[in-house]
């Protein structure tokens, strides 16, 4: 869950179009940030589902209604999973059934449409009807998140606990229906109340997990804290809140929560993994290795623990041990990106470039976006990966914000990063050209706009803005030619400029 602790977990958002005006010039300067070809308009799937639950003696209406809602959500998740599975096959996402369920629960937005209470023979029946929306927006980013195996681990543990609580409750309700003394009934009712308390704690934990999954860290922190307040013995809630502290760079508090989680459940291999990752992040490699040893002792097939321990050993310069750990991780799971990524970086640091490229390519293909960026340093050309495009998007968005603040030097720096990714797209050159133009560097702007129109000969705005740059350089013939080309391609401002300059 400590996604910040791994170097392969920088999350980025999908690209979108922006239209800006540069106030430095009296002429309209449009910046159109085109989508890369792999992105499309989001699809939205709506699912209507129902759930019901019969409340018996000793139970409270609030929790009974929540149980009905949980049942409705499970029905919706099954249908959403079918939709996501079909979508993932089209996009070639390569998801397991567990990952599909986690993805469905994480991206689904639920609205209650209707709810009713009716009296039945054995109590009160609670019924809930919901509308669940599943959007493909950010789906690629969410797919990468579910590849973080801790997300699937948390989800499965939560569902198992829900099932365990449901079975315990049915047994308690059955006991309460049997002839008993008042004292015996009260003892059973206390157990039912405790079951409801744990259910409510799980509800808050589930909410926190979903919020953390969607990077809403402040809200996730509140949800995990509520879970802990209701059930101080919920080790997973401490791990979840620790992850949130990690995301907020509050490492001392993260460590405190992880220590608490381990004290509650000393056999939680994931808690040791997370604490080991935290130690590693802070340069405490011996402590990290100690925790990762414990994680492996609990689960000898714990791939991430081997990969993380390999990283710690590499940080200490113990490369033979590091490679042994990476090789062990890959032998257990040949599709885990972390081990390939770590091993590739170690090869790179040792000057073994061919091996570095091979491992980083594999890590990148399996979804580690930072491996895609590192790969370019050693191979010279980026792989065909959506994660490189997502990296370009992040730089583009930062460049936009700097541009809006007229901090053109910083905008140029960010747009240059997208140019360096060599995505065979006109947009990075066009964006940087606009920033150069805003900064008064007309010749550099002309060079970038020229590359943009070479890649995309119908890029009307690039012709128009190059025309502005030519005009500012006093090259009126070239400026008029560009305005005419822009006009012919449908850029109305180009047509206006032809008339203005023709006088």
Q: 90-104, 107-121, 125-139: lowest mean pLDDT where?
A: 90-104
Between 14 and 495, the higher pLDDT residue? 495
3-state class of 427 per DSSP?
Answer: helix
Would you state the pLDDT for residue 459?
87
Strand ranges, E, within 23-137: 44-55, 109-120, 123-135
Average pLDDT over residues 187-200: 93
Beta strands in 19-172 (DSSP E): 44-55, 109-120, 123-135
Q: Indicate the average pLDDT of the chain.
A: 81
**Span 407-414, mean pLDDT?**
89
Whole-structure pTM value = 0.64
Structure tokens at 28: 């309209």
pLDDT of residue 367: 66
Domain presence at residue 331:
no
Residue 476 lies in a domain: yes
**pLDDT recorded at residue 64:** 92
Mean pLDDT on 477-495: 88
Q: What is the CATH number of the domain that holds 406?
A: 1.25.40.10
> How far, CA to CA in Å, does 156 sit from each of 87, 101, 128, 185, 436?
23, 10, 24, 33, 52
pLDDT band at 444 (very low <50, low <70, confident <90, very high): very high
Q: To which H or E segment does residue 280 belong?
A: helix 269-281
pLDDT digits (tens, 9 = 90+) for 141-162: 677 667 665 677 778 888 888 8
pLDDT (0 to 100) of residue 383 = 45
Q: Does residue 36 register a pLDDT over 60?
A: no
Residue 245 reports pLDDT greater than 80? yes
Report the percentage of the chain scoring pLDDT > 90. Answer: 44
In a domain, 362, yes or no: no
Residue among 392, 349, 401 at smallest CA distance from 369: 392
Tokens linked to 155: 């989800």
Q: Higher model confidence: residue 484 or residue 96?
A: 484
Distances (CA, A) of 398 to 12, 71, 392, 407, 431: 12, 43, 10, 11, 12
| Number of domains the chain contains | 1
Highest-pLDDT range among 140-154, 246-260, 370-384:
246-260
Which range of residues forms the domain containing residue 480?
Answer: 386-502
Give pLDDT tens digits for 217-244.
899 999 999 999 999 999 999 999 998 9
pLDDT tens by residue, 341-374: 889 888 888 878 788 888 888 887 776 766 776 7
Quick one: what percent of the chain has pLDDT higher than 70?
83
Looking at per-residue confidence, does 385 or 126 come out higher? 126
Q: Are 8 and 370 in contact (CB under 8 A)?
A: yes
- The arrangement of strands across the sheet holding 109-120 comes to 44-55, 123-135, 109-120
Q: Give the pLDDT of residue 198.
A: 94
Is residue 458 scored above 60 in pLDDT? Answer: yes
Which has more pLDDT, 420 or 4? 420
In a domain, 416, yes or no: yes
């Amino acid at each position: 869950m400590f996604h910040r602790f791994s170097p392969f977990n920088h999350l980025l958002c999908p690209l979108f179009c922006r239209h800006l005006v540069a106030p430095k010039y009296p002429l309209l300067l449009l910046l159109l940030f085109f989508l890369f070809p792999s992105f499309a308009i989001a699809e939205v799937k709506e699912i209507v589902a129902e759930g019901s639950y019969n409340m018996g003696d000793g139970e409270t209406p609030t929790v009974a209604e929540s149980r009905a809602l949980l049942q409705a959500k499970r029905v919706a998740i099954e249908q959403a999973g079918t939709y996501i599975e079909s979508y993932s096959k089209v996009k070639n996402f390569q998801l397991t059934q567990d990952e599909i369920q986690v993805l469905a629960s994480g991206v689904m937005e639920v609205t209650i449409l209707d709810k009713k209470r009716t009296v039945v023979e054995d109590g009160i029946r609670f019924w809930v009807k919901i509308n669940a929306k599943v959007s493909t927006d950010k789906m690629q980013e969410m797919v990468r998140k579910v590849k973080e195996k801790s997300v699937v681990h948390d989800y499965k543990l939560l569902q198992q606990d829900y099932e365990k609580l449901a079975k315990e409750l049915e047994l308690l309700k059955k006991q309460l229906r049997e002839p008993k003394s008042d004292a015996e009934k009260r003892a059973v009712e206390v157990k039912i109340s405790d079951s409801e308390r744990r259910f409510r704690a799980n509800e808050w934990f589930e909410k926190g997990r979903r919020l953390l999954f969607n990077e809403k860290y402040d809200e996730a922190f509140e949800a995990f804290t509520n879970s802990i307040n209701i059930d101080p013995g919920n080790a997973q809630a401490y791990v979840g809140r620790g992850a949130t502290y990690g995301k907020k760079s509050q490492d001392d508090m993260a460590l405190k929560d992880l220590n608490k989680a381990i004290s509650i459940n000393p056999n939680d291999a994931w808690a040791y993994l997370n604490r080991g990752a935290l130690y590693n992040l802070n340069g405490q490699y011996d402590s990290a290795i100690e925790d990762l040893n414990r994680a492996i002792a609990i689960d000898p097939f714990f791939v991430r623990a081997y990969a993380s321990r390999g990283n710690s050993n590499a940080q200490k310069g113990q490369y033979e041990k590091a490679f042994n750990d990476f090789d062990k991780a890959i032998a257990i799971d040949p599709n885990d990106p972390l081990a390939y990524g770590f091993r590739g970086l170690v090869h790179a640091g040792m000057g073994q470039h061919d091996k570095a490229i091979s491992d980083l390519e594999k890590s990148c293909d399996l979804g580690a976006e930072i491996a895609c960026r590192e790969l370019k340093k050693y191979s010279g050309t980026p792989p065909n990966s959506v994660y490189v495009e997502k990296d370009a998007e992040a730089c583009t968005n930062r460049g936009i914000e700097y541009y809006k603040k007229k901090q053109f030097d910083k905008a140029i720096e960010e747009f240059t990063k997208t140019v360096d990714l060599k995505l065979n797209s006109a947009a990075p050159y066009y964006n940087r050209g606009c920033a150069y133009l805003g900064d008064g560097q007309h010749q550099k702007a002309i060079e970038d706009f020229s590359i943009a129109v070479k890649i995309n000969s119908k890029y009307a705005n690039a012709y128009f803005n190059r025309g502005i740059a030519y005009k500012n350089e006093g090259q009126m013939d070239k400026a008029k030619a560009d305005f005419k080309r822009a006009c012919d391609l449908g850029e109305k401002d180009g047509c206006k400029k032809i008339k203005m300059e023709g006088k």
